[in-house]
């Protein structure tokens, strides 16, 4: 049952809200910790980031850090296929040319993600 908007929350409600906030923060932290960054040198094959901090063809040595790491961690399911190992580069480029491939789909989703989720 909802409380009237003009009444103050009781102690139990405040505690429940704090516990929910703590659980949400812990879940977000656990999700971020579960992201496995590449452990070898990779080449980024996705779209250029609008800030200019991430470009197609940019090479990253492990461990990934800085802006590339932030972008990767912000959407690992989208970004994973766009960071190709040096040994898998030709296969990844070939996959990007197939519009139905996971790589091509990830490229389109990354472009949308960089635009803040907005469709063009």
Question: Helix, strand, coil % (nearest 5) of the chain?
Answer: 50, 5, 40
Q: Which residue from 47, 64, 66, 63 is spatially nearest to 55, judged by alpha carbons?
A: 47
Euclidean distance between CA atoms 73 and 36, whole angstroms: 9
> What DSSP string runs through 61-77?
PSSP-HHHHHHHHHSHH
The pTM (predicted TM-score) of the whole model is 0.68
pLDDT in tens, 2-36: 555 566 777 887 777 777 766 665 555 555 556 78
pLDDT in tens, 58-71: 999 988 889 999 99
């Amino acid at each position: 049952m909802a409380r009237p908007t003009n009444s103050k929350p009781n102690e139990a409600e405040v505690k429940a809200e704090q516990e929910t906030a703590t659980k949400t923060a812990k879940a977000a932290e656990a999700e971020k910790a579960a992201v496995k960054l590449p452990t070898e040198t990779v080449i980024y094959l996705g779209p250029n980031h609008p800030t200019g901090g991430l470009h197609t063809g940019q090479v990253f040595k492990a461990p990934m850090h800085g802006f590339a790491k932030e972008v990767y961690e912000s959407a690992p399911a989208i970004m994973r296929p766009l960071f190709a190992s040096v040994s898998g580069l030709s296969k990844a480029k070939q996959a990007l040319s197939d519009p139905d491939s996971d790589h091509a789909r990830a490229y389109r989703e990354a472009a949308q993600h960089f635009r803040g989720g907005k469709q063009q």
